[in-house]
Structure 1
Amino acid sequence: MDILNILLNWAICAYFLCGIYLWLRRYEGDFSRRYLSFTWILAGVLFFLRLLSDELFPCSSGYLVLPVNNLMGGILAIIMLYLYPVRVINSDWFRNKYRNFILIPGLSLIVILSIIHPYCRELKSFEDFLLHIGEFDVILRLVILLLGILPFTVMLFYIPYNYTRSGAYHRWILSYSIKIQLIGALYIMFMLTGNSIISEIHLLVNIYLCTSVTYHELFVRFNVSKEIREQIKVETISPSIDNLITQDDTDSSLVKQIYKLMDEQQIWRDPDLNLIELASMLNTNRSYLSKAIQEAGYKNYSDMINRRRISEFVEMAKTGKIDNVQDAFFSVGFRSRETALRCFKKYIGVLPTDYLRNNVSASDL
């Protein structure tokens, strides 16, 4: 129990610190950080109440199975954890009826639990749970546990998604979903068994989720406003900019098809496109495509795509179309600040702010 209490205290500190820091780093025009800050602080409060409950009302046989208070807190927490990515993936879904579609079922389950709380049997072990599984209040709590957790584990994949208007991308959605699914599975196992080891693993995953999502929100994700996303327009650009994108004469028809897609459809703007999908678009396989990309003078698929994105950024800078570096990187297909800065430094040799400063200084002379 000592390890469990230590982890519980760490989780409380992590949630409160991340929540407060996000609140301090909030800015006008975006609600994501404010909402995530509120979510982390609420989670910290819930874990603090759990710690307080354990100290005031210790159970000699370990944690209870399907305790109503923990069940209500868990459902509320999972709902809050899912509203944040909904906001990031599609901000329209966070408004009005869509938000209520997510909130109302979960809140209804919490209301039902509060009503039946006085009539619920206290279950002190998994064996106790199996012994009374036929009773109405036990069945109802089990159904509420599954209904309140499982549906949310797949919901993110059904939210309408358009990369041009979203601060997310498929890999981030998948990563966040896996983390929540793991938390949900561990929570269900803990609620059914009261096992302290499962609870310890659950707390570790919670701490990782809190810190990793906070880091991504503050230092990785491009958090552009809806107005900026709607202003992004795909424009045809020159196929050759500062020799970053070169189209040497070649006999490879596949290379020509790649350039055609790059120039006409501007596939490099799609942050979710990968080598396999591009191969499918060209009716070839990844091996032949990789060879064709190397024939065109690139190291690999990522090198080709990122060079084109940086080329567009440079062209935008030359024509005075960049008011905000973050917005410009978003428009050319980057969804990670780290990746964008690394690629710019790699291909241009300086940071984008230095490049823009030098460009403006030169143009003013």
Structure 2
Amino acid sequence: MIDHFLIATIYTALIVMLLSASTLFAFHKSGDRSRIILGVIISFSVVNYIPRLIKAMDGIFQGPVLSVPMLSLALFMILSYTIYPIEVISPGWTNRKRLLMLYTPVILILSFYGLTLLFGVEYKEYSSIIEMLPHFHDFNVAFRLFICFILCLPIFLIFYIPYTRKFNNTDRTWMIVYVISGIIDVMTYLLILSYHTKIISIIYFHFTMAITALRLYMELIYRIVDKNVTNEEIMLASRDEKNEILHNIIKDENENYHKESNLFIRLEKYMIDNQAWRNPNLSLGMLTEEMGTNRTSLTNEIHKYGIDSITTYINNYRISDFIFLLNKYNEMSIKEAFYICGYRSRTTAIRNFRTITGKTPTEYFGRNIMNLE
């Protein structure tokens, strides 16, 4: 009886994961990576559950072997589930460099594990944490117990990510709920590593389904309907400041150029009214949706005014905004100013600054601002 219940539970969990991932892919919005990231991570679980279901249907019920590679894979998945809330809280923060840093613990653990094997360390097979505990004084056991201990830590990274930005996509309550759900998820996983029985496995799969459903709700409904950022300290430009930024952009252009095109007028108005360049995910696709046109028409439109690409167009706004911010706020760091303007890579921002102005920030401002990190 319990074998059939276990098969039905794994099958249900597989369907829930598959439908959740499909829903996230189907309802993702242009320029918003969070749903794609969460959908991909949930898809990993789908792939993981398929062999479990096949084994259960064949009457095979194997306990986990607590090897370093298996625990490293678990840490990899937990870190991956941390990328999603980071993208929600601070879109674009997870660039390639930070993504590599995020997965550094997995790389270090596997590298250290490889070295220990070279030095002849033997890792005895254990099927549960309870079975390992009496041998905690052995190095090979202590190492694995240490990995189990740090599994709970990655979820707290989301409190380190900068939050007080115009383009965050949620509120503090959302963050706390996600952290709590993440802790429960890890604790249930540690439970199954401690007591791997069929009953515990069934409980684990039910918790997994519930947490997945909660995350789906939090992504599709909660953070959109109940976004409360009114009490956060968000830097917004006033109307005069917006006009000054626009003036910096067009001062070297023909003053009458914008009168020739209704589409370009609407594009400029949208950019200024919404400070759209401060969205790190701003793209040609997002702008075409907002303008109600297509990529070719919008690209051709900006080409009329000597702008080679939409990327250049957006960067002109960001660099002008950056110059405005540092001129007005002397205490602001270059990192903070670039971040507010929509950049998530310091190297990219400085390169674009030099391309547009012909100077480095230090040369442009006549003072050393590079040390204000």
Alpha-carbon distance in structure 1 between the residues aligned to 2:107 and 2:59: 27
Alpha-carbon distance in structure 2 between the residues aligned to 1:218 and 1:146: 32
Structure 1 residue 22 corresponds to structure 2 residue 28: no
CA shift digits 1:241-297 (9 cap, x unpaired): xxxxxxxxxxxxxxxxxxxxxxxxxxxxxxxxxxxxxxxxxxxxxxxxxxxxxxxxx
Q: Which amino acid aligns with 2:16?
A: A
Counterpart selection for 1:134 from 129, 137, 140: 137
Q: Which amino acid aligns with 1:74?
A: A
CA distance 1:198–1:110, shift in 2 (3 Å):
farther
In structure 2, list runs of 5 or more residues that go unmatched. Answer: 228-233, 241-268, 275-373
Deviation at 1:152, TM superposition (A): 1.2
Alpha-carbon distance in structure 1 between the residues aligned to 2:235 and 2:31: 15
Asked whether the equivalents of residues 43 and 77 of structure 1 are also in contact (C-alpha less than 8 Å), the reply is: no
CA distance 1:173–1:125, shift in 2 (3 Å):
closer
CA shift digits 1:164-218 (9 cap, x unpaired): 3200110000000000001111212221332444433332222122122223322
Deviation at 1:64, TM superposition (A): 3.7
Alpha-carbon distance in structure 2 between the residues aligned to 1:80 and 1:130: 28
Alpha-carbon distance in structure 2 between the residues aligned to 1:101 and 1:128: 33
> Equivalent residue for 2:168?
166
CA distance 1:44–1:68, shift in 2 (3 Å):
farther
Classify the secondary structure of the residue corresponding to 1:63: coil
Q: How does 1:71-82 map to 2 (within 5 A)?
A: 71-82=71-82
> Equivalent residue for 1:151?
153
> Equivalent residue for 2:83?
83
> Equivalent residue for 1:205?
207
CA distance 1:211–1:125, shift in 2 (3 Å):
closer
Q: Which amino acid aligns with 1:91?
A: P
> Equivalent residue for 1:32?
34
CA RMSD of aligned residues (A): 3.7
Counterpart selection for 2:125 from 114, 118, 122: 122
In structure 1, list runs of 5 or more residues that go unmatched. Answer: 225-229, 237-321, 328-365
Classify the secondary structure of the residue corresponding to 1:91: coil
Asked whether the equivalents of residues 67 and 122 of structure 1 are also in contact (C-alpha less than 8 Å), the reply is: yes
CA distance 1:75–1:66, shift in 2 (3 Å):
same
Alpha-carbon distance in structure 2 between the residues aligned to 1:57 and 1:39: 28
Alpha-carbon distance in structure 2 between the residues aligned to 1:220 and 1:119: 49
Identical counterparts, % of pairs: 22
Q: How does 1:1-365 map to 2 (within 5 A)?
A: 1-2=2-3, 3-52=5-54, 58=60, 63-64=63-64, 66-68=66-68, 70-110=70-110, 119-125=122-128, 128-147=131-150, 149-162=151-164, 164-222=166-224, 233=237
Deviation at 1:119, TM superposition (A): 4.5
Alpha-carbon distance in structure 2 between the residues aligned to 1:17 and 1:66: 30
TM-score (norm 2): 0.53
Alpha-carbon distance in structure 2 between the residues aligned to 1:11 and 1:114: 34
Alpha-carbon distance in structure 1 between the residues aligned to 2:122 and 2:49: 25
Asked whether the equivalents of residues 186 and 199 of structure 1 are also in contact (C-alpha less than 8 Å), the reply is: no
> Equivalent residue for 2:260?
none
Alpha-carbon distance in structure 2 between the residues aligned to 1:170 and 1:202: 28
Deviation at 1:38, TM superposition (A): 0.6
Deviation at 1:29, TM superposition (A): 1.6
Classify the secondary structure of the residue corresponding to 2:77: helix
Deviation at 1:56, TM superposition (A): 6.7
Classify the secondary structure of the residue corresponding to 1:29: coil
Deviation at 1:163, TM superposition (A): 5.1
Classify the secondary structure of the residue corresponding to 2:104: helix
Alpha-carbon distance in structure 1 between the residues aligned to 2:239 and 2:54: 58
CA distance 1:22–1:53, shift in 2 (3 Å):
same
Asked whether the equivalents of residues 72 and 113 of structure 1 are also in contact (C-alpha less than 8 Å), the reply is: no
Deviation at 1:22, TM superposition (A): 1.4
Alpha-carbon distance in structure 1 between the residues aligned to 2:177 and 2:143: 32
CA distance 1:52–1:220, shift in 2 (3 Å):
same
TM-score (norm 1): 0.54
CA distance 1:234–1:70, shift in 2 (3 Å):
farther
Asked whether the equivalents of residues 128 and 193 of structure 2 are also in contact (C-alpha less than 8 Å), the reply is: no
Asked whether the equivalents of residues 79 and 106 of structure 1 are also in contact (C-alpha less than 8 Å), the reply is: no
Alpha-carbon distance in structure 2 between the residues aligned to 1:183 and 1:137: 26
Deviation at 1:31, TM superposition (A): 1.2
Deviation at 1:24, TM superposition (A): 1.9
Alpha-carbon distance in structure 2 between the residues aligned to 1:115 and 1:11: 38
Alpha-carbon distance in structure 2 between the residues aligned to 1:98 and 1:18: 27
